[in-house]
Structure 1
Amino acid sequence: MPGPGVAAAALLALLVPAAGLGAGATDCDVSPGSRFDCGPERLLAREGCEARGCCYVPAGPGPGPPWCFFPRGYRSYRAENVTATGSGYTARLRRVAASFLPGDVGCLRLDVLLETPARLRFTLRDPARQRYEVPLATPRVSGQAATTLYGVQVNEEPFGLVVYRQRSGQVLLNTTVAPLFFADQFLQISTSLPSHFISGLGEHLTPLVLDTAWTRVTLWNRDMAPVPQVNLYGSHPFYLGMEDDGSAYGVFLLNSNAMDVLLQPSPALTWRTTGGILDFYVFLGPDPKSVVRQYLDVIGFPFMPPYWGLGFHLCRWGYSSTDITRQVVANMSAARFPLDVQWNDLDYADAKRDFTFNKRSFKDYPEMVQDFHRRGLRYIMIVDPGISSSGPPGTYKPYDEGLKRGVFIRNATGQPLIGKVWPGPTVFPDFTNPETHEWWHDMVKDFHDQVPFDGMWIDMNEPSNFVEGSQDGCPNNNLEHPPYVPGVFGGRLQAGTICASSQQYLSSHYNLHSLYGLTEAIASHDALLRVRGTRPFVISRSTFAGHGRYAGHWTGDVGSNWEQLYYSIPEVLLFNLFGVPLVGADICGFAGDTSEELCVRWTQLGAFYPFMRNHNDHGARPQEPYAFSPAAQAAMRSALHLRYSLLPFLYTLFHRAHSAGETVARPLFLEFPQDRNTWAVDRQLMWGAALLITPVLEAGQTKVSGYFPPGTWYSLAGVGAPLTSPVAARGLCCGALCAFLHPTAGTSPPGLCSGLVPHPPSLVAIRGSQQWAGTPSGMQHPAPALSSFCCHLGLHHPQQRAVDPPASSPGHHQRPRPRRAHPAAAGARVQHCRVPQEGHGLGGGTDTGRLRQGRPVLG
């Protein structure tokens, strides 16, 4: 590998022939962990395997090496005519041997773009035919970086691309390890990995670090209660890897088709997608926080939520009248629990139809919401994308108007596709159509004129469908039955959703399916901004790369059990890596009965979710904080008070995410990448660089253990108090603690203004790197730890009551630059961190559906 001193321009033109491998050479002496599957679409017997020119070696049962695998030097494409361009270089790839796939593309164009010193992009396209590409707005770079952290080599035959770090020579991407495939509905490319540490590739119920021992990760958005090893609500084809020296890198495949990502122990990774093009970004870091920032430079920085959105939210499917909803709010107040946002599930809607309310059980619905506003509360209700289509003409405006304006997804005959969701027969808005955005805005405005809600909860937007495909089924064609079907739950692309062959404004649903939630989030964000003129607040179940620019996410219908409590931590951490920092799980669990102990522990952890909401199913036991014993209520109240005392700090972290591409909740390895002990820690989380949380995650525990990297840590138990609760803090910066702030009346959200929040605790320091175990006192809050968070990380605006901003806001890559306050003087005293006003350029972005080259662009 060339050393760091070799110029990037020279590296780009380097062609390396495959030494010692003639045409058709076969070498089956491949170690089991390095075998790449030669029968991805079906199980092959020896005869079928060898007919493909592949090797057949039976292995043991269960997950493990493929029995049929590619030999060394398997021929696919040859690189020719490497040519320098103003932005990098280009090459022609020619297929030198027919593959076993239908619709093989014989000639490809490779473009390598040296976009920034730390960001490389390369694409593989069919030059003879325009194929679907993800319509996500990404940076347009003119010219190329003069110097880079990376070097690139091209292997001539078989074609492969090698990307390595200039400083160390560490190979980050090496696609020569297995052949490239590019057919109409099957694209595959493999790479080696520099280490076994790989994190990302959501959304799945998974530990923070993925298992490289023959793991398949499927991306295809699906309405599915979270269980391990199943494709869930979102698709984020991005991973972050660590190198042995503590450096970090990232890879993003901009592709929205159904796909599998396969991990194997060599270690290596295979991307296997069913359409589109191969459009890769490689991020060089060199530290993990820089990798995340570089990724967000491509997909967009997160929106800035309103201050009230960081308070406590309460919901339940089963608040079946305004009387019950009002009583819940009254009970919270009587029990002295802070509450900022009250929600309603489908119960409010007339026959479960969007933009309606039940005139009997919710007869005073507008008055209830106005009364909440007078009390300082905000209000949010659920909105599903499925629009009821069963009523007589002229009786339901959203359907009548949508039909007239042509905004619904169409079936193969050109008629609106009819599925079935909560209201019965439904049609589905096509949010890739600009007219749909206008129609959606009009429906939101009409309903807001009746009921002045403050935000939107968009659910069922994978999109979910209670019948497979449509009420009339799906056509028997190659979009419904592609030659390769990834490991989607249900075994078919249309399982639990609409027909893949249905048509949308931009393309087929086959291509656009996993973008549905993102496109609805964009339309909802835009509608709220126009209707309310203030910073939008949208929470969505379905997500895709770039979602955090418009909305937050809750992790769906999690079960009320201890396993799901644990999994909520890596979920929150991963979505912060994905650029969706406003994320949280349903506190106490959604499905099934919680227990008092579980609900207390979940509330204690949930106090440190960036988005904090208690929500559960109508068939489960009540789980509002006041529904439990006095001892449990005291523990939950303490956790909520601690969160509210930290809101100025949390709000500052969100502004850093919005303006600088940082994370809010983050894994320990982001702060301590050189400490390998932190890399796999996913039972703890941090808020920024300052706060470490180590919660109780198992039943009946009186002790909790966590890892504290080297440094000075502080106890929240109080000066002079023994370290007998799982609370510690890290000493940073100037040593002045300024995250624990006791706001005064009139300066904060309603939960703070109630006067229920106690004064912040003091700190006592310990030193060293250690595994720490503490004994919680009764059912007190779990293990948060706070480092000194200096005011030079804060903003130079006086703290005030949250006020929504004007409608103006910065664009995609025009982030407001916060003014710096002077660093606080060193010392162990409490400082007041200042928080930003909500009218100073903190909006989340208004350009939600621009036109580029005659078609909508997302973002």
Structure 2
Amino acid sequence: MSSKAAGASWCFYPADYKGYTIGNITGSSIGKSVRLSRALSSASLPFPKPLSELKIDVQEETETRIRVKAKNQIYICTYKFCHFSFDSTVAPMTYTDQYIEITVAVPTSNLYGLGERIGTLKLKPEEGPKITFWSRDQPPDPDRNLYGSHPFMLGVESDGKAFGIFLLNSNAMGLVKTNPVSVNYKTTGGILDFYVFLGPSPDQVIQQYSEVIGKTMMPPYWSLGFHLCRWGYTNTDNLRLIVNDMRKKQIPYDTQWVDIDYMDSYKDWTLDPNSFSDLPNLVNDLHSYGMHFIPIVDPGISNTVGYAPYDDGVQRGIFIKTHDNSSFIVGKVWPGNTVFPDFTHPDAENYWYTHAKAFHDKVNYDGLWIDMNEPSNFVKGSLTGCTTGNIDEPPFVPPITGDMIDKTLCTSAQQHLSSHYNLHSLYGHFEAKATYDTLKKIRDKRSLVISRSTFAGSGKYTGHWTGDNHSTWADLIYSISGIINFNMFGIPMVGADICGFAGAVDVELCTRWMQLGAFYPFMRNHRDRDGDGQDPASSLFTSTLPIMKKALEQRYRLLPYLYTLFYRSHTDGRPVIRPLFFQFPQDPKTYDIDRQFLWGSGLLISPVLVKGATTVTAYLPAGNWFDIETGVESMGGTHVFDAPLSKINAHIRGGVIIPTQDHDVTTTKSRTKDFTLLVALSTTGLASGELFWDNGESYDTTGGQNNNFIEFTAENARLKSKVVLYDYAVKMTLGSVVIFGVHSRPTIANFNGHHVPFTYDSNAKVLRFQHLNGDLLRTFTFTWS
């Protein structure tokens, strides 16, 4: 029944196959229910247990969200939580116990999302057969199913109107994009539970999606600083040398991480007594400097009697079990033979908290890095193999890398909620939730969780890094589309390992990567244990250290703007990083661009991504744009900008006001510095912006209290502020205002009715006010004429 032909269906159907026929249709106040009956006997298909009848509920849940759900008794993935036609009649539907197929017609070829994957941002027709969903320990290479599962797709029609389709299904899945444009879904089970989002703007689609999966967690302010890590520090003394070298060279730097080499025999919640016994003192030293610390934790628990996390887990019965529930399933990971916590078990979170708290009492960490949680397994299935039944050897497997039990557990393994067959791709999601809740209980303030494996909705609990990438220019390029995708998936706290995790370190590549990484939402430099270190303080980068510092200083200045974008994401569901077409959906030239991106709606980044390049070709959509460093104005169109190794091009869109702050070596220090407003006037002299400010770590600051919120507007040579909320007592000093796009030299300027000095650059058309010592928590007015 299989087909090897490129683009062909995985199954050939009989010529008279009709799938299901429509029966009774009943209506209600919120939608319709449709009864379907099979039109062919079950013996005509190679898949067992076809359903003879289906009930399809179509509900208009909101004005912009439609839910299409096929009801049956198969496992359901549950959550607590029109310009577009959803047409599934273009091909017959198949619905069996372990094989579901449906084809949905879409009105455009401009399709995005569907991950986790590596490739171009826009889906290409030839890439369709290679989009698969089954979480896997797989370095981020093209045409592979990677660490997470996000069956969400966004489309943009020729008139700029957008829609989204989300299939809430955690089973293994394959997708094919066909021509004429339709999307063919094939899953190994579960149900069909589609959400259709009607936008009509791309931003609104993501906001509507976030209403279903949950909005992103609000990160602590310090987590937006620079993070440093490597696998292979080997001992505390080596790590301390790097920390001290970073300080000595005054490199902005907020959080130090450690990989598995800090552990005793790679066992969770332990310290190597010989090499890392002094780690608690180093962590205390980091804290005294206003810095933070994050260790790695893997889910594989060594099944060694006498090891407390194992003994306790056995007593609680919270490890994943074999197919017959007779024993705990045993695999092999870094500590050797391992068992795996079942994070769907009702006592798993208490178990996780118990051992996380005991370790926190020894090492005062500020967040957790949860890795290897697909879950990864160094043996296939288990140490004793898997069953030969339909669960471990299903009748249909999508074209994933390997098979469903390769590098993970037997799919017949049993968890509290269901079999691993159904829950596999949710493992990292449930671990992230348990870890988020654990840290909240331990620290009682915002922490940072970064998870390798994610699912739709994981952004409520965790950020993500794009995995074990390579030190190549191609990986540098692909990191952009990966980060944009995860912002569409509702996980905006995302970044790639800067300079690459594996491979030889290249000075030029690493320098360019530090520049690009300065605009990742999550900025971490990390590499493996082989080869040279690639921390900025390394002697390898003596010649380019000033360039790296410049990139970091620029990031730290922009953190108030970035933090405000995260606030908007947390409260409204808007993505932090977005492609150009999100802001300019009616401009078809933006549809294919994935080597530039926007911070919010106002800052366009155009990095160098080619070895040896000293210029960058960038597309500026309609309007006026200002170089963030010089203030030089450019109009919409394609430009070739100078880009020597010392520069990454970033442009503020006319009409936007960006709040910034003087940089320092940590966010703890930079948060006390003066603010600067960068005012980019539109061609009609207008601009607006906003600033959210709180203590950076409490949980109760985003619900309309314990924070400050300020709006800024510019019009008719007048800049004014409005203090919308003042509920956080703190000093906020306005030190400077820089206004781009002032096309004639003023003769006089006033700040709150008083004359103030200014400077004017007649070439760049930039007006500057400095040394203002203004109070941002009092309404102000600037005028110039």
Q: 1:593 to 1:766 in 2, by over 3 A?
A: farther
Q: How far 1:763 moved relative to its partner? A: 8.3
Q: 1:555 to 1:839 in 2, by over 3 A?
A: farther
- Which of 790, 793, 812 pairs up with 2:688? 790
CA distance in structure 2 between the aligned counterparts of 1:721 and 1:675, rounded to whole angstroms: 21
Deviation per residue, 1:81-122 (Å, 9 max, x gap): 111134322121110212413211101111111100110001
Give the match for residue 826 of structure 1.
715
Q: How far 1:279 moved relative to its partner? A: 0.4
CA distance in structure 2 between the aligned counterparts of 1:268 and 1:215, rounded to whole angstroms: 10
1:738 aligns with 2:658: yes
- Which of 625, 629, 633 pairs up with 1:713? 625
Q: How far 1:67 moved relative to its partner? A: 10
1:112 aligns with 2:55: no
1:727 aligns with 2:649: yes
Q: 1:574 to 1:836 in 2, by over 3 A?
A: farther
Q: 1:43 to 1:324 in 2, by over 3 A?
A: same
Secondary structure of 1:176's partner?
A: coil
- Which of 376, 393, 405 pairs up with 1:494? 405
Q: Percent identity?
A: 44
Q: How far 1:350 moved relative to its partner? A: 0.4
Q: 1:541 to 1:67 in 2, by over 3 A?
A: closer
Within-5 A mapping of 1:535-550: 535-550=446-461
Q: How far 1:790 moved relative to its partner? A: 2.9
Unmatched tracts of structure 2, length 5 or more? 635-640, 730-785
Deviation per residue, 1:712-753 (Å, 9 max, x gap): 1112232579974563534444x6x333332689xx714637
Give the match for residue 32 of structure 1.
none
Give the match for residue 417 of structure 2.
506
Q: 1:206 to 1:172 in 2, by over 3 A?
A: farther
Q: 1:112 to 1:741 in 2, by over 3 A?
A: same
- Which of 365, 371, 390 pairs up with 1:478? 390
Q: 1:320 to 1:68 in 2, by over 3 A?
A: closer
Contact 1:233 1:542 in 2 (8 A): yes
1:90 aligns with 2:4: no
Contact 1:64 1:214 in 2 (8 A): no
Moved more, 96-105 or 537-546: 96-105
CA distance in structure 2 between the aligned counterparts of 1:625 and 1:408, rounded to whole angstroms: 41
Give the match for residue 150 of structure 2.
236
Give the match for residue 670 of structure 2.
752
Secondary structure of 2:86's partner?
A: strand
Secondary structure of 1:227's partner?
A: coil
Contact 2:331 2:337 in 1 (8 A): yes
Deviation per residue, 1:210-244 (Å, 9 max, x gap): 11236221100000111100000000011001111
Q: 1:378 to 1:188 in 2, by over 3 A?
A: same
Q: 1:832 to 1:616 in 2, by over 3 A?
A: farther
- Which of 502, 512, 519 pairs up with 1:591? 502
Give the match for residue 623 of structure 1.
534
Q: How far 1:277 moved relative to its partner? A: 0.7
- Which of 175, 185, 193 pairs up with 2:98? 185
- Which of 425, 429, 434 pairs up with 2:346? 434
Q: How far 1:760 moved relative to its partner? A: 7.3
Contact 2:265 2:335 in 1 (8 A): yes
Q: 1:68 to 1:110 in 2, by over 3 A?
A: closer
1:603 aligns with 2:514: yes
- Letter aligned with residue 698 of structure 2: P
Secondary structure of 2:61's partner?
A: strand
Secondary structure of 1:347's partner?
A: helix
Contact 1:739 1:832 in 2 (8 A): no
- Letter aligned with residue 738 of structure 1: I
Give the match for residue 533 of structure 1.
444
CA distance in structure 1 between the aligned counterparts of 2:489 and 2:25, rounded to whole angstroms: 34
Unmatched tracts of structure 1, length 5 or more? 1-38, 45-61, 139-148, 150-164, 166-170, 769-786, 841-859
Q: How far 1:180 moved relative to its partner? A: 0.6
1:200 aligns with 2:143: no
Contact 1:659 1:815 in 2 (8 A): no
Contact 2:225 2:254 in 1 (8 A): yes
CA distance in structure 1 between the aligned counterparts of 2:200 and 2:159, rounded to whole angstroms: 11
CA distance in structure 1 between the aligned counterparts of 2:80 and 2:232, rounded to whole angstroms: 40
CA distance in structure 2 between the aligned counterparts of 1:691 and 1:332, rounded to whole angstroms: 29
Give the match for residue 333 of structure 1.
247
CA distance in structure 2 between the aligned counterparts of 1:452 and 1:744, rounded to whole angstroms: 24
CA distance in structure 1 between the aligned counterparts of 2:221 and 2:283, rounded to whole angstroms: 19
Within-5 A mapping of 1:545-560: 545-560=456-471
Contact 2:706 2:728 in 1 (8 A): no
Secondary structure of 1:425's partner?
A: strand
CA RMSD of aligned residues (A): 2.9
- Letter aligned with residue 357 of structure 1: L
CA distance in structure 1 between the aligned counterparts of 2:467 and 2:724, rounded to whole angstroms: 31
Give the match for residue 43 of structure 1.
3
- Letter aligned with residue 220 of structure 2: P
CA distance in structure 2 between the aligned counterparts of 1:344 and 1:291, rounded to whole angstroms: 38
Q: How far 1:819 moved relative to its partner? A: 7.4
- Which of 71, 74, 80 pairs up with 1:137? 80
Q: How far 1:412 moved relative to its partner? A: 2.1
Moved more, 302-311 or 723-732: 723-732
The normalised TM-score by structure 2 is 0.86
Give the match for residue 581 of structure 2.
669
Q: How far 1:586 moved relative to its partner? A: 0.2
Give the match for residue 70 of structure 2.
124
Count of residue correspondences: 713
- Which of 476, 482, 487 pairs up with 1:576? 487
1 or 2, which has the higher strand percentage?
A: 2
Q: How far 1:426 moved relative to its partner? A: 0.2
1:411 aligns with 2:309: no
Contact 1:660 1:815 in 2 (8 A): no
Q: How far 1:815 moved relative to its partner? A: 9.0
Secondary structure of 1:239's partner?
A: strand
1:287 aligns with 2:176: no
Secondary structure of 1:354's partner?
A: coil
Q: How far 1:267 moved relative to its partner? A: 1.3
Secondary structure of 1:637's partner?
A: helix
- Letter aligned with residue 76 of structure 1: G
Contact 1:340 1:751 in 2 (8 A): no
The normalised TM-score by structure 1 is 0.79
Q: 1:538 to 1:314 in 2, by over 3 A?
A: same
Give the match for residue 19 of structure 1.
none
Q: How far 1:135 moved relative to its partner? A: 2.4
Q: How far 1:191 moved relative to its partner? A: 1.4
Secondary structure of 2:379's partner?
A: coil
Give the match for residue 319 of structure 1.
233
- Letter aligned with residue 824 of structure 1: T
Contact 1:122 1:279 in 2 (8 A): yes
Q: 1:191 to 1:790 in 2, by over 3 A?
A: same
Q: How far 1:125 moved relative to its partner? A: 2.1
CA distance in structure 2 between the aligned counterparts of 1:279 and 1:815, rounded to whole angstroms: 35
Within-5 A mapping of 1:21-100: 39=1, 42-43=2-3, 63-65=6-8, 74-98=17-41, 99-100=44-45
Q: 1:453 to 1:576 in 2, by over 3 A?
A: same
1:659 aligns with 2:586: no
Contact 1:339 1:750 in 2 (8 A): no
Secondary structure of 1:206's partner?
A: coil
- Which of 169, 189, 192 pairs up with 1:278? 192
- Which of 472, 478, 492 pairs up with 1:561? 472
CA distance in structure 1 between the aligned counterparts of 2:562 and 2:332, rounded to whole angstroms: 41
Contact 2:659 2:677 in 1 (8 A): no
CA distance in structure 2 between the aligned counterparts of 1:794 and 1:420, rounded to whole angstroms: 49
Contact 1:253 1:281 in 2 (8 A): yes
